[in-house]
Chains A and B, each alone.
Chain A
Amino acid sequence: MPRQKEILSNWSGISLLGMFMMGTSIITMAGKDAGMDVLLALPMAAVANILLAFMYTRILTLYPGKSMMDLQEMIFGKLSKLFYLLTVWIALHVATMTLILFGEFIQVVSLPETPRYFICGFIAALAIWLVKDGLEVMGRWAGFAFPVFLLIITGVSLLSIEDIRLDTLGPFLSKGLHPLLTGTFPLIALGLAFFTEVFNHLGNSRKTFRVFLFGILLTTFSLFFVYLRNISVLGMSFTQSLYFPSYAAVGIINIGNFLQRIEVAVSVNFILVGFIRLSICLYVASKGISRLFGFQDHRAITAPVAFLVMAFTLFAFRNIVELSEWVNSTYPYYRVPFLFFLPLVTWVAGEIKARKDRRKATLPPAL
Chain B
Amino acid sequence: MLKIAFFITIITIFVFVDLIPALRRRNIRYAAAFLAFSCLALSICILTELGVKIPSPAKPIKTAVDALLRR
Taking beta carbons and an 8 Å cutoff, which residues of A are in contact with B?
93, 115, 117-118, 121, 124-125, 128, 289, 293-295, 300-301, 303-305, 307-308, 310-312, 314-317, 322, 326, 329-330, 333-334
Interface string of B25-68 (1 = CB under 8 A from A): 00101100110111011101100100001111110011001101
* Distance (whole angstroms) from the CB of B42 to the closest CB of chain A: 8
Residues of A within 8 A of B10 (CB): 121, 124-125, 307, 310
By the criterion CB–CB under 8 Å, are A308 and B18 in contact? no
Number of A-B contacts (CB under 8 A): 95
Residues of A within 8 A of B30 (CB): 295, 300-301
Residue of A nearest to B21 (CB): A300
User: Which one of A115, A303, A315 lies within 8 Å of B44 (CB-CB)?
Assistant: A315
Residue of B nearest to A124 (CB): B10
Between A301, A303, A304, A314, the greatest number of chain B beta carbons within 10 A of the residue's beta carbon is seen for: A304
By the criterion CB–CB under 8 Å, are B58 and A330 in contact? yes
By the criterion CB–CB under 8 Å, are A311 and B44 in contact? yes
Taking beta carbons and an 8 Å cutoff, which residues of B are in contact with A?
2-3, 6-7, 10-11, 13-14, 17-18, 22, 27, 29-30, 33-34, 36-38, 40-42, 44-45, 48, 53-58, 61-62, 65-66, 68-69
By the criterion CB–CB under 8 Å, are B56 and A303 in contact? no
Contacts A115-B3, A314-B45, A317-B58: A301 and B69 contacting too (C-beta < 8 A)? no
Overall SS of chain A's interface:
helix
Contacts A115-B2, A117-B6, A301-B30: A314 and B38 contacting too (C-beta < 8 A)? no
By the criterion CB–CB under 8 Å, are B14 and A308 in contact? no
